[in-house]
A and B are shown apart, each in its own frame.
Chain A
Amino acid sequence: MDPRDDTTTDDAIIQVRGLVNRFGEQIVHEDLDLDVRRGEIQGIVGGSGTGKSVLMRAILGLRAPDAGTIQVLGHDPQSGRASDRIAIERNTGVLFQDGALFSSLTVSENVQVPLKEHHDLPDRLREELALLKVKLAGLPADAAAKLPSQLSGGMRKRAGLARALALDPPLLFLDEPTAGLDPIGAAAFDDLIRTLQEALGLTVFLVTHDLDTLYAICDRVAVLADRKVLINAPLQEVEAFDHPWVQEYFHGPRARAAQDTARRQPPAKD
């Protein structure tokens, strides 16, 4: 099957070519290509076990792929050179599924970790900047002094987002940002991501299962199935794509509900 990939442009902020990931006998990705365009919210969907998180981990350099090349912001995460690693670390922010906050540090200290590691700032300024990020992520100021265990699941996600934004990275990775949130919280989180994306000019790599999120904020959606990217295109095109999984996913009862919601409240797209 020829992936209908119309994004092969020079403006790709992430470029994956011929990626192969294997776990023993089990092949997760085979010859996978993907381009993520600058300034877009790129959704990644796929059934369980299609390797969405594995793809993200490979792009972040957390997992060495078995074959293929990856370029993130013009750097190769697998090169082993410290300069590439640092460039990627400084220019990407990652929100892990459960926030992955350091449990022994307060929210404010969590946000300060990357600032401390990469920049030499006066303590006072660093604290101010951390507080700014905490509030930008939609948390009240008094949450900054709390430990992650004192926060609810939704607040932990926001705190994780604040930490991901600490260095003002141009590229943001979100792994299932709305999983485990109530619908109102999830919708608010979608809005927050859209707002921040516009304000900070971010490119967002968004792994999700949440149809509402797809319809509300994604510019472009890549479908992972059969070990590769089936299609990477705006939602209308993806919906029309002829593949059993895609049809079932986008035309099941849950998808119709999400489509209805999206139609009633058109996303705040520019």
Chain B
Amino acid sequence: MKALKQAIAIIVISTAAVLPGCGNKPLLTEMTTHKLIVIMKGTYESNSPAPWSIPTERVPDPDDISKLVYTVGHRALVQDDSVNKCDAINDDNPSVFLMDIAEVRLADSQGKLHKFSNFRQNFSFTMDDANPFFNGTGYIMDNDDVPSKLYPAVMIYMRKMLMDGAQKYVPQSEGWSASPMWDVFAEKQYPCLNFNKMQVHSFYDTLRYESSYFNRVFPVVVPIQDAALGMIYNDAFPVTVLEIRFVIKNFVKKYEYQSYINDVFTTIHYFAMSDWLQDVKKDEIDIGGNLLMVARSYIPGLTGKISGINPYGTGAHIIAIPAGADINDYTIPGERDAINPPGTLLTDAYKPGTITITPPKSPRFYNDCDLSKKPSAYLGSNINQALDYYLKTEQYNYNWNERVPSSCGSFDDYKDGWDTFKRDVGNFRLPQLAVWAAAGTAFSFENVPPGNYDIYVANVEPRYGYLYYDGQFGAVPQWSNVSVSAGGNTGL
């Protein structure tokens, strides 16, 4: 009987100890479901994106219709002005964008990183208007939940970013011999090129003391610039959406680099993000700093809508920014490219000598102390590569002497030049809310968190491969300080 009493006592004590602690959250259901939904989009717009408008690459040569030549649109907007070594015309516009993400983390306001999606995920998006990544719907990532906190930034660890259409050209007696480049995506070979390895940013980052710690894509740090200075995640809400946007749609350009593949001088043409923000110059391999991203969060059911009609006679981007924010943070100083003779259509055949294209001007163009970069010393035994190195060194010396001391007279000028560059480029941010509307048609911003917004309309039509320069967004007086409430539809 003594044993029985002891046993009963133990059971009673242990049961009494645990009962007050019983919770009311279905933890196991929490584990197998998630309340944080991460949506990825490949568009500048948060909804209703502009349709794809990549210029056609080739048309028959008007002088000899048996031949094909690039169009003016391809030469002006798709082919970057840094492409100059190889004029072969075998480049086809890309049709698939591939992305290999190692993991995604959220940084909380104490700076602690939260792993919530440490699964390697491979994505393949066809570059057309039907794909959810490019039609404004978005693609849902696989992820888990995080503790209820404030998260000012999301970090994406990019393993690879690839596009098809990359060609390698080998000089031969009858001209350039073209063949597609093959690369590995998800452990299989595809005719595409991983441009992630070029997404470094040597011409500016290497000037900095902490340059060796810089890596622009592993991870890509995307600030979540919500009103609360970050995403508020609280598991009391059934769903919180984190929208991450990459500017890829209508923002792809063709670049070039040279390489010795099996001791054969080879020129590679490939497609990657436009260098609108940080210009890629002739002979530069690095294209970093041009992966433009923005993130925002909202709680479905606690959002409103802003609707209106595009007041202009052309298709235009309309953006909503927090009331009182500086519109110049959403644009950069610069000018679009110019095509001569004026009036030339982007679908016309490009005829050197009759048509010239002046490259666009951007923050790097205005920096007089943007000196050329010294080529790295060649230590191998290949005579061609050794001679190339000496030629590049001579070119470097020539470029340097062209600017120093005439336009870049002192070290102070140098510092000022790069500080201005940093200000212009570093302050640029993408609008969290943006839509595109055809001339005179209705538009609406969907899933707008409650708050006050200023609405701006672009006074120029969107141009392939470009975002906006200072002065290209015009304020509409009656559309300032627009108030949005949860569940409401604010008509403009």
User: Are A and B subunits of one complex?
Assistant: no
